[in-house]
Each structure stands twice: as structure tokens, then as C-alpha cells.
Structure 1
């Protein structure tokens, strides 16, 4: 039997099962939702099993509660095949009055008109990310993000990553898809992300809300999105980019495709952090363009590890997307959210990582050692702006950052004399 690679998500799922009657695991396909759910489920109902699917569908139409019988937590995989199961689960949770009854997994492409109740208070939603470098056993995990927040003075000096730039590029191209790790060759591993991209454009984009969408146009939109990855490109500029290379695209059509790609959990933009430390007119508040996994951008652009080795500028944007994916995975158990800061003076923090307890970190992603000084200077200047603003107000209305961190593609971790932590992404874990 294939070994299960533990996920950071495991602990959060367990906690939610202790608190709620049912848990819906959302996220992009192929990220491991079903496999992860099976580690905690005591019984499983596979709605798309070809040997039983017809019988299950018939039962769902006549007596859906029969399908819910079994040891708990009971996993209902691909529940959206029979949307009536949503309301059946909600009712069963009410009747049983116990947490940890059901786990639901499956696609987001469901006809909402067939669901009578939102499930609020009964069915909790959890979003799952693709595998991080630590979960795929490429990061050695010698530096814990949680430990850094608990002790900002944690000694990290001299800790080394096992990943060089070449290995990082390959990991970004392969992506965090569990199936890719089973490939016997590097070429086979890279094929998974390419097939994922094609599947989204040719099949999945049409299944969402039963929309009539064009695969070629979906590819053009994702290609433009990938070209603008980790930037503040506007919708207007992306549409113009598509229109320059493909068929005419109107803004309403673009919005429709964008909504479909968001429902498929392909796009994962980063919202702005707009603290009142400068005039609102100088703080940029648009979305920073992002994808759920860097491999989708690589596939959309038709790139390969060898091509990226010769184009490190492009890989810098891909690297930032990889860092975003891993930061979300590592911080999710701490109920976190990720923003960015960028103002008209080009003062920036690639990410502002907030935790539910109010603590937060300012983070810059710098692939090479020559960029670390620039990233650290941005973080220190932003921290000083916050401090100056609080002094002017006469009270600490805005908490100063708990961590200043530069994530890098380098191999040695250290704390600078100014307190900024320089951490290779290949050392980080939850």
C-alpha cells in the first residue's frame, strides 16, 4: 500500500471534526482531499464508484438517509453527484446532535438550486491547499513558522536547506500534486501538472455552473494570468493582453471565466493590506495576481525547468507564488490570512501574514542573495512607518510586526543584526 504523506491539514481537520457535525473539504482537484479525509474516516461512500454509482443515485432520490448509515466520521466522496445529500447530511447532523459525523469531499461544480439550506452551523468548510515543500519532503522543516511566532528571537543561524535553485525550479514546475510524486522519472512527474492544466481548460471550465465556455479562451486567459503572476495587473490589462493574442474577449465574458476559475480553486489572488500609516491615496489596493500552485502558471506559459534556469527573472515571480502556497499551508492551522503591502513609493511587503491572535509578519520573497538587502530595507522601513504613526497618534493603534522575514531560494538561514530573519524556503515548515 502506498505510504500516506502527512499533511499540515490533518490536524485542522481533526479539530473541526471535534467541533462540527460535518466538514466539507474544498480545494483544487488532485490536491489530496479524498486521501486525506480517508485517514480519519471510519466508513466511506464513493458516489462515483462505477460498480455502485447507479444504485447510490437511485437511493439518493428515494431515501438519501440510507446512504448516511455507517461508522463515523463517514466520508461521502463526490457528494455533489447527488446534491440532495447536502440537506440529508444537515438533517442527520441536527438529529444526531454529535460532532464528527461526516466528511464531504468533491468538486465545487454543483447546482446550488438543488440545495435548500446553506448548512451554516452544521457543515463547516475547510479549504485544502496543494502540498507544500515540507509535505512533499523537499523542505527539511528545520525552522517552524509557529515556533518563530512564539519566539521571535529563535536562533536560526547556520541552519541549511537541502534545496538548490535547480531543485526549487523543478519543484515549482512539478507542483504540489500528490500524484506527481509517484512518477518514476522526472519527466513523468512534470506531466501531471501539464495534464492538470489541460483538464481545467478543456473539461472543468465547462462543468462549472454548466457554462458554455471555450477551452482555447480559458488557456489564453490563464496564460495572460501567468504572465502577470505576482503583479498588480488590472483586469483591463489582462483582457487587453488576451485580445492581442486570441479571440475578442469582453469584460463580462472575462468576469464569467474568472468566476469559474475561482470556483475551481485555480486562482488565488492576494488582497491588499491598507493600514492608515500613509494617505489612502498612495496605498495600492488592487489584487495581486496569484494561482493556487506555481505549476499551473508554468504549464500555462509552456515552460520547463531548463527554460526557467535561463530566465531567472520569470522564475522570481514563480518563486513568490510557491512561497505564497507554502505560507498558506503552514499557517492555516493558526487561522491565518495573507495580504500584501505596496505603495506609490515602491515600499512593499510581498506578504503580510496575519494570525487570529493579532500577531503578524511582514515578508519579502527574494530568490537570490543580492536581493536580500533590498527586501530587508523595505521591511524595516515599513516597520518604522508603523512606529512613527503610532507615536504621532500617541497610542499603539496599530500593532508593530512580530516578525520581519525574507524568504529566499538560498541555502543558509540567519538573523541579520537589524533583526530581519533570512530563511530559505527549503527549511520552513508549519
Structure 2
């Protein structure tokens, strides 16, 4: 029986294989890259477990390319030299869909590799969205919202505790049918592997597991916020007298980025009618909300006891899904915040011909939704639409309730109805 669950990236991969000689799928380990790529590949070379294949790259790599295509080179970063051989193979055959590379880290010597531009297309993959895992109906399409279409959704039956559980368990394919206690243990081991093995293997930082764990915890506390390096340094130091220097903190963050574990939202810099001063710092997120709660060692019960923290982690859940749904549209995700924090918009989704603004609220309370709608309308009124155009949609994403377009034009969408 085929238990594979359709991924949003499946259609993207098919398109890339039809237009590029090879496709690189990047994403954190455990997000399903190999399984997705294996369904398209006719030959699979696993560099993480096949020592003979690794040796063959330095002996006679041409033999590896004699197998039926597409050829999947799994965990290619274990043998970075394969990159240039794939590039040359594509040049020699002038073909499409010849190879797929999957990897959970950027190699240390990536700067020494020749560009794959024009030969190797890149595709980002993340843990599963609620739509992919079956926890969202997908009734409300992000693509349709960006086309300016009205969207409706039935009242969700999902409860706040159930949503907190989805945050804590995350979108990892192997955890979909796992109860929370076992999922938290798996995630604890996952982060332990990151700290003890994966980051040190990159060779960019000295081995300091306690400080790396405090880095993860600090990012967990600051999820959905523009945390400064100075604040991170203080958290990382813990009880130590000496704080890490800026370069060390940057190296920790770079390592997490190279492992595809973080995905921040840069500041949107629109032309505005007012002289509003905006923040420039990026807002920090993990690639999956479960990493933030796992780094802090908290579960559903803890989140329910701390509504403010729960709101930030809920925002991280929604951002993960928005990024995945926006990617096939070549969309980008940004954030908009006034310098003094009086006004903010959680997410701006922008494509080449449209943009939409999203506020995220862990509630179904009408008063909160009303206030968020007023904030979005006020924000939209400040944007110079002669340069940016009118927003295709203003959206409040909620935890509870139904979905539809209000009389003021703002859409209300429960996260369990959101889809690509």
C-alpha cells in the first residue's frame, strides 16, 4: 500500500525536471526530500550509506552516470565533487531531468563549486504544512487570494489544544501519526544530533554544545521577533562571564541556516505616503514551529498556560505554511513593522504582479479580529499604491471560526482551511 502523502513541492519538482538538466532539493533532514525525490528517480545513489559510491566519485565518476535517469544523488553534500560532475553531465548531454540532488546542508567548500546556473535548478523543501498532513481542508487558496478572488471556508472544528499539539509535533513526515510524548523525544534527539554532530561537522564553529543549545533556546524564546545579536549573545553566555563575540553568534546562526533549520522574514520596504520609520531587522523563525518548542522543552500544556508565547509559536506555524504555499507562485515572505513597534503586519506575501498582507491571531474572538482588520486597513492606506498597486487581499488568519470576506473587504481565514 502506498502511504506517500502528496506534497506541494511535487508539482514544482515535475516542472523543474522538465525545464532543467538537474534539480537540487534543499531542506532540513527529516522533511521528506529523499522520499519525494525517490518517486521521480529511476536510479538512487545514497552517499550517506554507500561507501563504494563515495569512492567511485574520485575513481571514475562516469560509471555513476551510466544508470537510467533521472539519477538521484542523495545527501550529495557528503561528496561535494559530484556537483561539478552533474554540471558537466548536463552540459555534455544537453538533456533535461537527468539528475536530482538532495541535501540537508550546504557544503563547507560550496564557494569553490562552479555555478549550476542554467543547468541545476534549486527547490526548497520544508516539513509538511497542515494541508499536506491532512489537518487543513485547503478550502481557501493562497493563489486565489493573490488573484483577488473571494474565498470562503466552513467553521473549523479544530480546537486550540489540537493546534498546540500540531505546533509541538510539527510537520515531520515520520511523526504524523505519533503521540506528543514520543514526538517530543524524537525532536529532542533531533536537536541533540544537530548540536553534537551536524553543526561541528560543518567546521565553522568550535565545538561548544552548551552554547549551541542556548542559541537554540534563545531563538525559541524569540520566535516571531526581530531578536538582535546582542540579545542572542547575552542568552548564549548564560552564566558565563564572557559573552560570545558578534562573529561567534553570527557563525552559530550561519550554521543553522546552512542546515536549513531557520528561515527568517526580512523587512518589507514599501514606498509609503507617510514618513513612517520602519524596522530593518529580520524577524526570526525556525523552518518548523516544533523546533522552537523542542529547544525550550515545552509541550501543549505549557503553551496553553502561556497564551502570549503560544501566539508567537502559532505565528511560526502559519508562516511555515505560507512559505510553502507561496513558493510555487515565486512568492516572497516579508514582515512590516514600525520602528517603535506601534504597528506591524506579520506577513507580506509578494509575487511579481500582486501582494497581500496577513495578520495572524490565535483566536476566533470577533473583537480581536475586528482590531486586526482595522490594523490591516490602516496599513494599506499608508502604502503608495501608485507604485505598489492595491493589495490583492488583506487577511486575518485565525485559529477558530469560519472563513469569508467581511463587509470592510478583509478576509478572515482559519489556518485549518488555508491551502496552496
TM-score by length of 2: 0.94
Q: Which runs of 5+ in 2 are unaligned?
A: none
Residue 95 of structure 1 deviates from its aligned partner by 0.6
CA 1:380–1:226 in structure 2 vs 1: closer, same or farther (change >3 Å)?
Answer: same
Q: Indicate the SS of the match to 2:64.
A: helix
User: Contact 1:206/1:213 (CA < 8 Å) preserved in 2?
Assistant: yes
Of 34-43 and 338-347, deviating more is 338-347
Q: Which runs of 5+ in 1 are unaligned?
A: 391-395
- 1:239-318 equivalences in 2 (<5 Å): 239-246=233-240, 248-277=243-272, 282-318=277-313
Q: Indicate the SS of the match to 1:272.
A: coil
Residue 91 of structure 1 deviates from its aligned partner by 0.6
- 1:101-120 equivalences in 2 (<5 Å): 101-112=98-109, 115-120=112-117
User: What do the CA deviations read for 1:377-409 (whole angstroms, capped 9, x no partner)?
Assistant: 1110011112xx45xxxxx22211110000011
CA 1:298–1:116 in structure 2 vs 1: closer, same or farther (change >3 Å)?
Answer: closer
Q: Distance in 1 between matches of 2:236 and 2:208?
A: 14
User: Contact 1:139/1:162 (CA < 8 Å) preserved in 2?
Assistant: no
User: What do the CA deviations read for 1:45-93 (whole angstroms, capped 9, x no partner)?
Assistant: 12233xxx23222321111111122222111112222222111111100
Q: 1:339 and 2:329 equivalent?
A: no
Given candidates 356, 359, 362, the residue that maps to 1:364 is 359
Which residue of the partner structure matches residue 17 of structure 1?
17
Residue 118 of structure 1 deviates from its aligned partner by 2.0
User: What do the CA deviations read for 1:304-342 (whole angstroms, capped 9, x no partner)?
Assistant: 111111111110000011110000111111011000111
Residue 138 of structure 1 deviates from its aligned partner by 0.8
Q: Indicate the SS of the match to 2:48.
A: coil
Residue 301 of structure 1 deviates from its aligned partner by 1.0
User: Contact 1:273/1:339 (CA < 8 Å) preserved in 2?
Assistant: yes
Residue 175 of structure 1 deviates from its aligned partner by 0.8
User: What do the CA deviations read for 1:109-157 (whole angstroms, capped 9, x no partner)?
Assistant: 5242695412221111111111101111111222221222234234x1x
Q: Indicate the SS of the match to 1:4.
A: coil
Q: Distance in 2 between matches of 1:64 and 1:118?
A: 19
Q: Distance in 1 between matches of 2:278 and 2:294?
A: 33
Report the RMSD for the aligned CA atoms in angstroms. Answer: 1.9
Of 315-324 and 57-66, deviating more is 57-66
Q: Distance in 2 between matches of 1:130 and 1:274?
A: 29
Which residue of the partner structure matches residue 86 of structure 2?
89
Residue 281 of structure 1 deviates from its aligned partner by 6.5
Q: Distance in 1 between matches of 2:231 and 2:188?
A: 26
